Amino acid sequence: MQITANDPSRKSWLNVAKDSDFPIQNIPFGVFLTPENIITIGTRIGDYAIDLGALHQLGYFKDIPLTDDMFLQDSLNDFIADGRITWRLVRNRIANLFDINNRTLQDQPEHREVVIFDVNEVEMQLPVDIGDYTDFYASKEHATNVGSIFRDPKNALMPNWLHIPIGYHGRSSSIVPSGTSIRRPMGQTKAPNAAQPTFGPSKLLDFELEMAFITTDVNHLGESISIEEAEDYIFGLVLFNDWSARDIQGWEYVPLGPFLGKSFASTISPWIVTLDALQPFRVESPKQDPAPLPYLQQKPNNSFDIHLHAYIKPLNGEENLVAKSNFKYMYWTMAQQLTHHTSNGCNVRTGDMMGSGTISGPTKDSYGSMLELTWKGTQPLKLSDGTERKFINDHDTVILRGYCENEKVRIGFGECSGKVLPAR
Amino acid sequence: MQITANDPSRKSWLNVAKDSDFPIQNIPFGVFLTPENIITIGTRIGDYAIDLGALHQLGYFKDIPLTDDMFLQDSLNDFIADGRITWRLVRNRIANLFDINNRTLQDQPEHREVVIFDVNEVEMQLPVDIGDYTDFYASKEHATNVGSIFRDPKNALMPNWLHIPIGYHGRSSSIVPSGTSIRRPMGQTKAPNAAQPTFGPSKLLDFELEMAFITTDVNHLGESISIEEAEDYIFGLVLFNDWSARDIQGWEYVPLGPFLGKSFASTISPWIVTLDALQPFRVESPKQDPAPLPYLQQKPNNSFDIHLHAYIKPLNGEENLVAKSNFKYMYWTMAQQLTHHTSNGCNVRTGDMMGSGTISGPTKDSYGSMLELTWKGTQPLKLSDGTERKFINDHDTVILRGYCENEKVRIGFGECSGKVLPAR
């Protein structure tokens, strides 16, 4: 089925600013509370939030096989479970309805009234009921930086890193949507030269610039999928801030990996941009040397050119751009991650989420965490208000943004932001 | 409220064998399919499965505040969310109804007909919709054995181990109920002296003898609980086999912990034995030296005397008892695990599950995994059919059993079993 929704020449009868992340070619999916406090599934064009539940009740999807309450839900899980053909039918239909040349909805002011909201009047929710969340460690630059900082710059990568998309199971319960404040975690830490550990607020609170993809039902327990089919199961992507307390993490993580240093909170952007919408921005992923084992070998053009920016905004201060990275720097692709994940028979379900791990690029200004940007605090960043940061302070807001752009269209992710509150 | 259900002098009008795990003092909770293929929540007395959905429809719980469909569900989550007072009211009521001196239900043959099934006629299901699953590493003997095998017997415990209940996030999707066959996982491994990794069936498939507890809603994100209140949030326990592919785990786990070496399957016993039912079996947990930090210090008697046995049954062979351990050997208690888990503000929800980690005791016959029992395959076990085992073979069934016993009553967990099928 053609993805007619992606037609770059299409214009909408809704006003879309030139630099908007949400032209009619994007059509992401999210969940929001309307001003009347009704929860619904929606999409966004420009600065308008569109209530798909109301559109469906008004009959605008009637020849697409959807249950009556498909969009009147508090998560996208049922819609995602319906699979790619349904996603395409719905995106194509929305593109048609909001096309400037289509007068069906445009000429129904009483319908427009109940379907279209100012995006500032709605309250975005977590878009998915996340079952299992996995975080990968897929940027070679990030893994090399971390290995250099904590171990040996000459043997920065662990022996397995170039052979396996290394990942770990994360905590689903503490994933929150953009805009939710983050409480600085308490925890047990031990300074390198201290005799005993102590318990108190984390002193080394960090962000991690990541993206995450969300899956439809992939496989039954005991089965696996081939790398050729992996992308068919990916619904879309969000921006992801994997908040990290480096001091808690450092003391707890050997030998079983990150635990309370991560599980106090993780933030995602609320609009899921579909893999379909990202198709025009396919690029080559980094060359893999040594070649991966056959089950992880894939055809070319497996990554996406997504510009990623991280900002720190101090209390009453302005936004400071602290990192400029790109999704395409990821060494291990999403298809490799998902294939590897099912290779042991582990079942992946609708609403599962997989994070990329921190996406760092080759240059110092492209590192995706304060740990790397300040080289573990040894090279503090100067902010525009004259203050310095080694890590994240109380009352700082961390904002991630991401977008794809070519000469015809810009597809963005909006923002993924969280303000840090002092420890309790 | 008194736990009258625990009265050891009570007898049931249902026949209960002398050595049954399920006397009227147990009253565990589970989910099953009736012979008519109706899913319901139930309990068990002797070899009878009791349909609580039908009992509720017949009015036997009518003065207890429960929603009409509380037991006509495919998981215990809503019931668990109702909290300890409801759990006690329901257990006490069931104990009364099945007490030999109570004729209310006993004299209603047409009610008994639709409420009581032979346990062999029903099909046990996963009892809970598990949100997040965490596995701890709480047995000092196990951690010492693993450290001795893989690192240095003189420095077997990592520096953090005596200060933190070490844990990691596990995979929820692949948790299955007892009786589900387990497919030997494929995976990437590298022999110590091999130049390159290879992909194929795991050669070192192991079991881990564990228990796991299931929680009700504990805390909001950003809050934590004190150790004094931790047990209030624990609904009950199950037996837990944390199947492990040692060769996959060995190659992948540095630095982010266990991943595909574990996530191919984990098995739980289907009846959740409530913490209330276990009260008569409280014992002291091992003395902790050094004393833990104040947030983890607790009053005495924080563990339970639960005998744990692991068996291997070869195809067409008999059961071989390979390990005899006890829950009381755990160094870090459940209350310490749960308190630590929320100490960073991580929210724990109804239906979350926390595994103990392998529970090994002080003697060689009490080790809870083949890795330890055979000392990484160097000391194979002899089975009664004359074969040897270094790890688990295809077609072997691993069975875990557990029970508490004093001079008056025996409270057991039934069994947690899984048969290994050859890799695909």
Q: What is the CATH number of domain A133-421?
A: 3.90.850.10
User: Residue B378: which pLDDT band, with cuts at 50, 70 and 90?
Assistant: very high
Report pLDDT for A199.
98
Rounded-to-integer distance, Cα A407 and Cα A388, Å: 38
Q: Provide the number of CB pairs (under 8 Å) joining chain A to chain B.
A: 203
Residue at token pair 């949030």: B233
Task: Give just the sign of the alpha carbon dihedral A389, A390, A395, A401.
Answer: positive
The superfamily CATH assigns to domain A4-124 is Fumarylacetoacetase, N-terminal domain (2.30.30.230)
Q: Which residue of A has its CA nearest to B290?
A: A196
Residue at token pair 């302070």: A393
CA distances from A7 to A20, A24, A413, B67, B275 (A): 17, 9, 19, 51, 60
Q: Which residue of B has its CA nearest to A156?
A: B255
Q: Which residue of A has its CA nearest to B161?
A: A252
- pLDDT tens across B176-201, in order? 999 999 999 999 999 989 999 999 99
Report pLDDT for A1.
83
Nearest CB neighbour to B349, from listed A163, A173, A345: A173
Count of residues making up chain A: 424
- What ipTM score was computed for the predicted complex, to two decimals? 0.97
Tokens of A191: 């300074």
Report pLDDT for B1.
83
Asked if residue B363 has pLDDT above 90, the reply is: yes
What residues 6-45 of chain B have any CB closer than 8 A to a CB of chain A?
none
Q: Which amino acid is at A327?
A: F
Residue at token pair 């959740």: B272
Give domain limits for chain B: 4-124, 133-421
Catalytic residues of B: 142
Beta strands, E only, A34-132: 39-45, 48-51, 116-118, 123-124
Residue at token pair 């925890």: A187
Burial of residue A295 (number of CB atoms within 10 Å: 0-12, 13-18, 19+): middle
CA distance A217 to chain B (A): 11
Report pLDDT for B424.
92
Rounded-to-integer distance, Cα B25 and Cα B6, Å: 5
Cβ within 8 Å, pair B137-A256: yes
Cβ within 8 Å, pair A257-B168: yes
Chain A residue numbers touching B168 (CB-CB < 8 A): 168-169, 256-257, 259
Nearest CB neighbour to B163, from listed A167, A197, A341: A197
Cβ within 8 Å, pair A185-B295: no
Rounded-to-integer distance, Cα B28 and Cα B26, Å: 6
Report pLDDT for A109.
98
CA angle centred on A114, ends A110 and A115, rounded to 5°? 110
Q: Are A326 and A308 in contact (CB under 8 A)?
A: yes
User: In terms of DSSP H, where are the helices of B231-303?
Assistant: 246-252
Tokens of B375: 């000392």
Rounded-to-integer distance, Cα A274 and Cα A284, Å: 19
- pLDDT tens across B28-82, in order? 999 999 999 999 999 999 999 999 999 999 999 999 999 999 999 999 999 999 9
Residues 6+ apart with CB under 8 A from A256: B137, B166, B167, B168, B253, B257, B258
Q: Within chain A, which residues score under 50 in pLDDT?
A: none
Q: B63: how many CB neighbours lie within 10 A of its CB?
A: 9
> Which among B135, B174, B132 is positioned nearest to A349, based on CA atoms?
B174
Q: B163: how many CB neighbours lie within 10 A of its CB?
A: 20
Q: Which amino acid is at B35?
A: P
Q: Which amino acid is at B326?
A: N
Tokens of A376: 């573990």
Chain B residue numbers touching A264 (CB-CB < 8 A): 221-222, 344-346
> Which among A307, A413, A400, A418 is positioned nearest to A20, based on CA atoms?
A413
Report pLDDT for B383.
98
**B349 inside 8 A of chain A by CB:** yes
> Which among A182, A175, A178, A83 is positioned nearest to A132, based on CA atoms?
A175
Report pLDDT for A213.
98
